[in-house]
Amino acid sequence: MKAKLLLLTLLFAISCTFVKAQSTVKKGMIKVTILYPNGEGKTFDMNYYKNSHMPLMRKFFNPKHLAIDQGLKSGMPDQPMPFLAIGYLYFDKLSDYEEALAKHVTEIRADFIKYTNTTPVVQISEVVE
C-alpha cells in the first residue's frame, strides 16, 4: 500500500510539473534553442551546465521558461547522437532576448569553455503550437 501511495504521489508531482511547463509556454512566444553538436572528441559537462551556466542564463535573461535536454542517442540506428545537449529559453518578445544578449554576451561566451568544447548553434523561432 505504501508503495502504491508513493508511486501515485510521484506521478502526481510529475504531472504537475508537465502542466506547469505547458501553461508557461504559449503560442507566439519566442523560443531560443541552443544546440550543442556532438562529434569526435567533443565533451559536455551537464552538471556544470545545469547547476552553474543555466542559473547564470536565468539571471541574465530572466526568461519566462527555461528547459534542458541531455542527448541520449540518435533516432536512427547505427548513427551517432547528433547533439550532446540542448538548452531552451522562452520569451514574450524577441527584444527581451536581444537586449539581454547585447548586455551579457562577453560573460556568456567566457562561460562556454567551463562546460563544453563544442561550438553551440543557436536557433531563434516562434512557438506555433
Q: Is the dihedral of CA 78, 83, 85, 91 positive or negative?
A: negative
Q: Is the dihedral of CA 20, 54, 97, 35 positive or negative?
A: negative
State the Rg of the chain over Cα.
17
pLDDT of 22 strictly over 60 = no
Order of strands, sheet of 65-70, starting from the edge strand that comes earlier in the sequence: 65-70, 83-91, 30-37, 121-126
Q: How many CA atoms lie within 13 A of 116 on its CB side?
A: 26
**Confidence bin at 19 (pLDDT 50/70/90):** very low
Q: Which three cell numbers stand for residue 22?
A: 505547458
What pLDDT sits at residue 21?
A: 52
Residue labelled with grid coordinates 524577441? 94
What pLDDT sits at residue 24?
A: 87
Say how far apart CA 88 and CA 115 lie, in whole Å.
Answer: 17
Fold of 27-126: Alpha-Beta Plaits (3.30.70)
Map out the domains of the chain as residue ranges. Answer: 27-126
What pLDDT sits at residue 2?
A: 54
